[in-house]
Amino acid sequence: MQTIKCLVWDLDDTLWEGVLLEGDGVRLRPHVLDTLKELDGRGILHSVSSRNDGPAALDRLATLGVLDYFLVPQIGWDAKSGHVARIAEELDLGLDTFAFVDDDPFERAEVAHSLPGVRCYDSAAVASLPGLPDFRPAVVSDESGQRRQLYRADHLRRTAETRSGLSRQDFLATLGLRFEVRRASEADLGRAHELTIRTHQLNTTGITFGEQELRELIHSPAHLVLVASLSDTFGGYGTIGLAVLELAPGSWRLPLLLTSCRVISRGAGSLLLQDVIRRAYAAGVRLRAEMIPTGANRAMLVALRLAGFAVAGEEGGRMLLELTPSSAPAPPPHVVVRSDG
């Protein structure tokens, strides 16, 4: 079972003591702020599902100093299962990574029945949530504590795209995309390890590397470990890509290339692959990529084929694809690429 990526909070008698619409001078319940801060630092997002007056509830959250913790809050009179489903859609996260906390057993039962993948908790358990295995990500990197800001920026981008009325390609051209690729350093180990665990769609083989393994690889003259970051006019996306290459005379092997699912619509997988190809072309070597096709990573296989890789056979249950670069691919005109290679 996946660890929780988003915790959705009820408000009355859950996040705060009392009922807002009854005129209670509500205040945060004990341990709520500690739980908010602890889970936020682990990269777990927070949102709200509440039967309340929207403006009044948001104003109270702001007064209590916690409004900024909550992404895409859903406040109204619809079923709370509908609230949670909309939050999942807005954040582009699977419902099986959601948890819901509410003091009312009826509301918990309604969500559990309608959305069986969502884990439901009584408000009495708020203080103990950070200690549960479901709320302990396998990796907490330096970027984990920034995840809320990254998702908030993503939401602003999607809203701007919807309002623009432009096609996807035309909207991308307005973003001022900047893509950077560089050799990984010791400072990148935590995030690089996290990417191998969290990324499944744009991932060639699904190999996971521990921090010590990555440390050895970045210091090995027979390997090249690259990390990629992306930014635009809305801000940074963080470190979103990783490539691991095995270097040999005349031939480089690519056992792993991945980019975060959050940037699938930005073409980041192809941009990172193009950088690898440019480096191989400059070195005058052939590239051999490994691929383990799954139902989830078809987009990565498509990217390899579009880049010119041809299927060369199979080895150890992995598809092998080969390319001898005949030129250095140019990035699309709407992206500025910076590379140390």
Domains of the chain, by residue range, sit at: 6-135, 176-339
Higher confidence at residue 158 or residue 253?
A: 253
pTM here is: 0.80
Burial class (CB in 10 A: 0-12, 13-18, 19+), 197: middle
* Alpha helices by DSSP H, 184-252: 189-198, 211-218
pLDDT at 24 (0 to 100): 74
pLDDT tens track for 171-183: 989 999 999 999 9
> Helix (H, G, I), strand (E, B), or coil: what is residue 234?
coil
| CA–CA dist 175, 157 (Å, integer) | 9
Amino acid at 158: R
The chain-wide mean pLDDT, for the chain, equals 93
Mean pLDDT of 24-33: 92
| CA–CA dist 60, 68 (Å, integer) | 12
Measured over the CA atoms of residue 93, residue 96, residue 99 and residue 105, the dihedral's sign is positive
Bridge partners for 228 per DSSP: 181, 241
Residue 98: its H or E element = strand 98-102
Backbone angles phi, psi at 319, to 5 degrees: -70, 140
pLDDT beyond 80 at 95: yes
CB count, 10 Å around CB of 158? 14
Mean pLDDT of 219-229: 97
pLDDT beyond 90 at 86: yes
Bridge partners for 104 per DSSP: none
pLDDT tens track for 100-139: 999 999 999 999 999 999 999 999 999 999 999 999 998 8
pLDDT tens track for 256-282: 999 988 788 788 999 999 999 999 999
Give yes or no on whether 6-135 and 176-339 have one common fold.
no
pLDDT at 76 (0 to 100): 95
Burial class (CB in 10 A: 0-12, 13-18, 19+), 292: middle
Q: Which CATH superfamily is domain 6-135 in?
A: HAD superfamily/HAD-like (3.40.50.1000)
Q: Which residues contact 81 (CB under 8 A, 6 or more apart)?
A: 110, 111, 113, 114, 115
| CA–CA dist 132, 138 (Å, integer) | 13
- Looking at the structure, give the CATH architecture of the domain made up of residues 176-339: 3-Layer(aba) Sandwich (3.40)
Backbone angles phi, psi at 222, to 5 degrees: -95, 5
Residue 308 falls in which region: left (phi positive, over 0), alpha (psi -120 to 50) or beta: left
Burial class (CB in 10 A: 0-12, 13-18, 19+), 30: exposed
Mean pLDDT highest for which of 23-32, 147-156, 280-289? Answer: 280-289
Band of the pLDDT at 83, cuts 50, 70, 90?
very high
